[in-house]
Amino acid sequence: MQDGRVKAIRDALDSEGFTNVSILSYTAKYASAYYGPFRDALDSHPGFGDKKTYQQDPANGREALIEAALDAAEGADMLMVKPGMPYLDIIRRLKDNSNLPIAAYH
């Protein structure tokens, strides 16, 4: 989702000798009203605007496959979809196209 971030983390970990530390990549993150109750409970709403600018278009499932390939090439060890339940189709597509473990956060 944020191109280059996984590689930067992998390079930093490896250079400090943490080659066995795994990286879980936020491969596909979608805007969702599911987050509202958690933000309410923690009083952690964005101070201004929203976070949709770095979240994917749910109508474009191919974007998740592209991001997964980029994340894997940069050194991700696991891929995550958030929220998970409404995007089971994306989870399935990732599973069918990647050998990495797929995590779902809901």
Catalytic residues: 29, 82
Task: Fill in the amino acid letter for 31.
Answer: A
Please report the sign of the dihedral spanned by the C-alpha atoms of residue 8, residue 48, residue 35, residue 90: negative
Please report the sign of the dihedral spanned by the C-alpha atoms of residue 12, residue 4, residue 21, residue 30: positive
For residue 47, what is the DSSP state? S
**86 touches 105 (CB < 8 A):** no
- For residues 34 and 29, what is the distance between their CA atoms, to the nearest angstrom? 12
